[in-house]
Structure 1
Amino acid sequence: MKTYAYKRELRLLTPADFQSVFDARPKKFSCRYYTILAAKSNFDKPRLGFTISKKKARFAVQRNKIKRVARDSFRLQQHELPNVDMVFIAKQGIALASNETLRHELEYTWKKIKRHMKS
């Protein structure tokens, strides 16, 4: 039975985790609101980390909303994604995007990642 929890093992937590993605010549998957850097992983599950600066989303409420929407979308797609480490980098204007728009963009991005990062 598949579980759709977003547990600790599905997150990039330490600076070393993030640095390994940046150093691995990651593939870039972009839209107008964010860029996702994806690099092959030695783990048996995909992992996701976030970098959302105060310049991109000024208030904590906005940053938390973005992370909540992205985490939920990732949680539902985790069993179909290849074993990659991903870093979500917010772009200017993401704070003004609606939840629906972010979900739609993320669904499209997950499809691109599945197609280009096959294990």
Structure 2
Amino acid sequence: MLKVVNLYLHNLQLKQSLITSVKKLTFSRELRLLAPTQFKAVFEQPFRASTPELTILARHNHLDIPRLGLTVAKKHLKRAHDRNRIKRIVRESFRLKQHELPSADFVFVAKGGIGKLDNATLFAMLEKLWVRHIRLAKKPQA
């Protein structure tokens, strides 16, 4: 009987530690750039990581969290559902990578040709750019 109780308590402790150790992967309001001044600050002196279809700009934000802003112009994607698809994929990529990213403000900028990318290709490009920003953040600043 004592072994059963000890085993139960051990399993209960494992479950509780797993629950508390799981990181939240939400994309709450605190993780978004909302005001034009926040976007301007990133555009002034950014670190850039880009491909021909997209650019991710970043600037250290003195917070403990990364934040994301999205810009997808009608010039590059005429239809709203195309713009929404791109933004949805970028948000999902950021949401999954947020705990690895440095504390910086990121602005995603869509360029011409982004509408021709399928979801998997776009997601893979974003992964590479996030890794590039992680490396840039670890580099010592001069």
Q: TM-score range by the shorter chain?
A: over 0.9
**Which residue in the other structure is 1:5 paired with?**
26
Match of 1:37 among 57, 70, 73: 57
Q: Which residue of 1 aligns with 2:41?
A: 20
Stretches of structure 2 that go unaligned for 5 or more consecutive residues are 1-21
Q: Secondary structure at the match of 2:138?
A: coil
More helix by share: 2
Within 1, Cα distance between the matches of 2:118 and 2:136? 27
Of 113, 120, 131, the residue aligned with 1:111 is 131
SS in 2 for 1:39: strand
Aligned to 1:50: 70
| Structure-1-length-normalised TM-score | 0.95
Query: Rg larger in 1 or in 2?
Result: 2
Q: Distance in 1 between matches of 2:32 and 2:67?
A: 5
Q: Percent identity?
A: 47
Q: State the one-letter code of the partner of 1:36.
A: I
1:89 and 1:67 map into 2 onto residues whose CA distance is: 10
Higher RCO (CA < 8 A, seq sep 6+): 1
AA at the equivalent of 1:17: Q
Aligned pair count reads 118
Amino acid at match of 1:27: F
Amino acid of the structure 2 residue aligned with 1:11:
R
Quick one: which amino acid aligns to residue 40 of structure 1?
H
1:15-73: CA deviation from partner (whole Å, max 9, x where unpaired)? 011011112x1111001210111111122100110111101111100000000001001
Gaps of at least 5 residues in structure 1 are: none
What is the CA–CA distance in structure 1 between the aligned matches of 2:138 and 2:33, rounded to whole Å? 20
* TM-score, normalised via structure 2 length: 0.80
Alignment equivalent of 2:117, drawn from 77, 86, 97: 97
Give the distance between the partners of 1:118 and 1:70, measured in 2 at CA. 23
**How far is the alpha carbon of 1:118 from its aligned partner?**
2.7
The residue aligned with 2:10 is: none
Structure 2 CA distance, aligned partners of 1:14 and 1:43? 16
User: 2-side partners of 1:118 and 1:10: how far apart?
Assistant: 21
Taking the aligned partners of 1:37 and 1:115, their CA distance within structure 2 comes to 14
